[in-house]
Amino acid sequence: MTSSAKTEPINGVSLNYTLDGPPNAPVITFAHALSLNLRSWDLQIAAFTDRYRVLCIDMRGHGGTDRNGGAFSIEDLADDVAGLLDHLSVAKTHFVGSSLGAMVGFAMAFNHPNKLASLMFMASQGALPDAGVTSARERIAAMRASDATAETTMAAQADATIERLMHNPADDGHAARVQLMRHILGDTTLFGQARAYEAILDMNYDNRLGEIHTPTLIVAGAQDSSTPPSRMQMYADGIAGARMEIIEAAGHFPNVDQPGAFNALLNNFINEVGG
C-alpha cells in the first residue's frame, strides 16, 4: 500500500512525489523514464518499503509535475531532486534512474554528488547518437505540426510504444504490467514528452564520465533496441569502479519487464555499497 502523492513547491514548480517506508530507514529515490511517471515504480515500492524509505518523483512535464510549464534542462531536473531531498531532510540517497531518470542521475553525480550514496543507471545514455538525435527531432517536429493541445496525451500511441519498448508484451503473464503502462502513457502529454526531448537534445555527458566517483551500477535490458547493452558498455568502462549487469528477457523498462530480477540486482547492489 503506497501513500497518496504529495506536491511541494521546489525551484518554482509544484513537484509531485510519493514517500513510503519506515521514517528512519535509508532512502532510495526512483526517477522514471521518458514518457512515464512515478507509477512505473509500483513493483519496486512494494518490494523495498519494508526496510527503506522509497521516494518516487514525477519529473517536469510528467505525471503531476509542471504539466504545462516551459522549457527545462536535465540539470533543472537534478536540481529539483536535490531541492526535494533538502525539503525532506534527506542527507543522502541511493538514486535509481531509468532512461530520462538516469540522465538526471548523471547530473546529480556532477552537481550534487554529496547527496548520493549510490547510483543505478538503467537503459540510458549520456548523449544521443546521431540516429537518436534525428529521431527525437522528428518526433518533436511532428508533435508541433499536429493539432495537439497542452492536454493531448500519448494514449493513441500507447500500444505502439509498449510494443517497441517492452519485451514480449503479448505474453499473458505481462497483462497487468502492460495495462499499467497503458494507463501511464495515457496520462503523459505530447507537450510534456516534447519538452523532455528538447532537454535531452541539449545534454552531452559522455565526455565527463571520469568526473563520477559515486558507486555505480549500469543495468541494461538484453532486448532493449533503444539503448542496447553494446551502447551502455562505455559507461561501465568509463565510470571508475562501475560494473554492468544485463537483465535477460527485458527491453527498455527492465524494472517493469522483469521486476524480480531487477529488484534482486538493486537489493544486492545497495547491500554491497552499504545500504
- Encode pLDDT of 21-76 as tens digits: 999 999 999 999 999 999 999 999 999 999 999 999 999 999 999 998 999 999 99
Identify the band that residue 93 occupies on the pLDDT scale cut at 50, 70 and 90.
very high
For the record, the C-alpha cell of 257 comes out as 519487464
Identify the band that residue 2 occupies on the pLDDT scale cut at 50, 70 and 90.
low
CATH number at residue 240: 3.40.50.1820
Q: What are phi and psi of 85, to 5 degrees?
A: -60, -45
Name residue 152's amino acid: T
Lowest mean pLDDT among 47-51, 123-127, 139-143, 165-169: 139-143
What is the distance between the alpha carbons of residues 237 and 242, in angstroms, rounded to a whole number?
7
254 touches 223 (CB < 8 A): no
Tell me which H or E stretch contains 29.
strand 27-31
Is residue 1 included in any domain, yes or no? no
Tell me the pLDDT of the chain averaged across its residues: 95
Is residue 64 included in any domain, yes or no? yes
| In the predicted structure, residue 275 carries a pLDDT above the cut 80 | no
The arithmetic mean of pLDDT across residues 214-229, rounded, is 97
Q: How many domains does the chain have?
A: 1
Is residue 258 included in any domain, yes or no? yes
Place of cell 509542471: 66
11 touches 20 (CB < 8 A): no
3-state secondary structure of 258: coil
What is the distance between the alpha carbons of residues 30 and 209, in angstroms, rounded to a whole number?
21
Interacting residues of 250 by C-beta distance below 8 A, sequence separation 6+: 167, 221, 222, 223, 224, 257, 258, 261, 262
Tell me which H or E stretch contains 54.
strand 53-57
Tell me the sheet residues that pair with 120.
Answer: 96, 217
For the record, the C-alpha cell of 123 comes out as 537503459
Q: How many CB atoms lie within 10 A of CB 189?
A: 21
Identify the band that residue 129 occupies on the pLDDT scale cut at 50, 70 and 90.
confident
- Encode pLDDT of 146-177 as tens digits: 888 889 999 999 999 999 999 999 998 899 99
What is the distance between the alpha carbons of residues 107 and 212, in angstroms, rounded to a whole number?
10
Range of the domain at 135: 6-273
Identify the band that residue 126 occupies on the pLDDT scale cut at 50, 70 and 90.
very high
Instruction: Specify the pTM.
Output: 0.96
| In the predicted structure, residue 85 carries a pLDDT above the cut 70 | yes
Per-residue pLDDT at 131: 81
The arithmetic mean of pLDDT across residues 134-148, rounded, is 84
Is residue 94 included in any domain, yes or no? yes
Q: Where are the alpha helices (DSSP H) in the chain?
A: 42-48, 74-87, 100-111, 130-145, 158-165, 175-185, 190-201, 229-238, 254-257, 259-273
Lowest mean pLDDT among 66-70, 82-86, 94-98, 208-212: 66-70
